[in-house]
Copies of this chain bind each other. A is one copy, B any other.
Amino acid sequence: MVGHSFMGAAHSQAWRVAPRFFDLPLRPVMAVVCGRDRARTEAAAVRLGWAHAETDWKALLDRDDVQVVDICTPGDTHAEIAVAALEAGKHVLCEKPLANSVLEAQVMADAAERAAEQGVRAMVGFTYRRVPAISLARDLVAQGRLGRIHHVRAQYLQDWIVDPAAPLSWRLQKEKAGSGALGDIGAHIVDAAQFILGDTIHEVSGTLQTFVTERPLAAEHAGLSGTASSAGTGPVTVDDAALFLARFTGGALGTFEATRFANGRKNAIRIEINGSAGSLAFDFEDMNVLHFFDGTEDAGVAGFRRIVVTEPQHPYVDAWWPAGHGLGYEHAFTHQAVDLVRAIAADTDPTPTFADGLQVQRVLAAVEDSSASRTWHAV
């Protein structure tokens, strides 16, 4: 695993827990964690439970005890690591967004396609697909329970930088993060919406906004929690918020909004879908619940059903607890690890593929282009 910050902790928990609840055809071993700083990486290895620590990711490619490279670093490093790992015959799990540009993402998708011919697998970490309620949403759409889809409204609302005194972390710097809310959280709702619909966005009209353009420099840039130094301020070079209208290939209209300035909303991922036969609504603040309106029912008793997605029938749930005992944020990472291991064992491509990640990247790029040109833009 490369990177041991927020995502590194989540992925470690996934590898640790997956074999304890799921029957896996292969047994994951947590071999090596890799970071830039030796002392911190070694401490992370102990804390997170990795057998070895490395400070150069290239070392992983030569190790026989590494079959999967799990990339949890900022987006600017994804392409180089992923392509090299695939070429070295290592399966790759790469955090989202796939890359910081369409060009890089294209290179990665090409590498993944070549690797697949050799049985080497690549997967991009759109983890929210594996929240049981979102998987169930996709299933209901695929079963036709919603009919023809008319509307998608998707929001990813956070508020962690609404305070202008919040420091300039790497996530606010374009050269590291590629973009701001758009790539960090907008990417998730683009993927989730396309995943649930089984459809793709083909054109967008969007706008990006940076509300606070100058922020205190952080003493260090390693995470969300850096504190302001006395070193002055620096420019925010990414968007604080990204809004766009979208048209899907199948005819649905979408509104998308990703922001870090929704005061009071910590991690609200909301997806609402209206079709000719029914509707769905999801909010990650209540992540074990999916609301479903069945429009074919008698109007006298019709209503949005609050499905508590903790039944054995529901995706992934059977491995966990009895009905009504909800899951948390990191369980989706466990499901991701499970699906990757199963795909590797079955010699099939796991989803979302790098091609899926590339498609999301194209949507994000079209939003940026649209914001610049102030017109609709094709994906």
> Which 4 interchain pairs have the tightest Cβ spacing?
A266-B324, A267-B324, A264-B293, A328-B328
Is A343 an interface residue when CB atoms closer than 8 A count as contact? no
Complex alpha-carbon distance, A301 and B297, angstroms: 13
Contact pick for A257, options B153, B224, B261, B326, CB 8 Å = B153
The B-contacting residues of A in range 221-276, CB under 8 angstroms, are: 224, 241, 243-245, 247, 251, 253, 255, 257, 259, 261-268, 274-276
Q: How does the 8 Å CB contact mask read for A300-330 relative to B, with 1 for contact and 0 for none?
A: 1111111110111110000001111111111
Is A160 an interface residue when CB atoms closer than 8 A count as contact? yes
The B-contacting residues of A in range 127-179, CB under 8 angstroms, are: 136, 140, 145-146, 150-151, 153, 155, 157-160, 162
Pairwise interchain contact B20-A265, C-beta atoms closer than 8 A: no
**A48, A140, A253, A286 — which one has the most chain B CB atoms within 10 A of its CB?**
A253
Contact pick for A209, options B253, B306, B331, CB 8 Å = B253
Q: Show the binding face of A for B, using Cβ within 8 Å.
A: 6, 9-10, 12-13, 16-17, 20-21, 47-49, 136, 140, 145-146, 150-151, 153, 155, 157-160, 162, 205-207, 209, 211, 224, 241, 243-245, 247, 251, 253, 255, 257, 259, 261-268, 274-279, 284-295, 298-308, 310-314, 321-331, 374-376
Contact pick for A207, options B157, B205, B262, B322, CB 8 Å = B205
Pairwise interchain contact B241-A243, C-beta atoms closer than 8 A: no
Closest Cβ of chain B to A233, distance in Å, is 18
Closest Cβ of chain B to A309, distance in Å, is 9
Q: Which residue of B lies closest to A297 (CB)?
A: B305
Pairwise interchain contact A329-B327, C-beta atoms closer than 8 A: yes
Which B residues lie within 8 Å of A224 (CB)? 322
Pairwise interchain contact A326-B151, C-beta atoms closer than 8 A: no
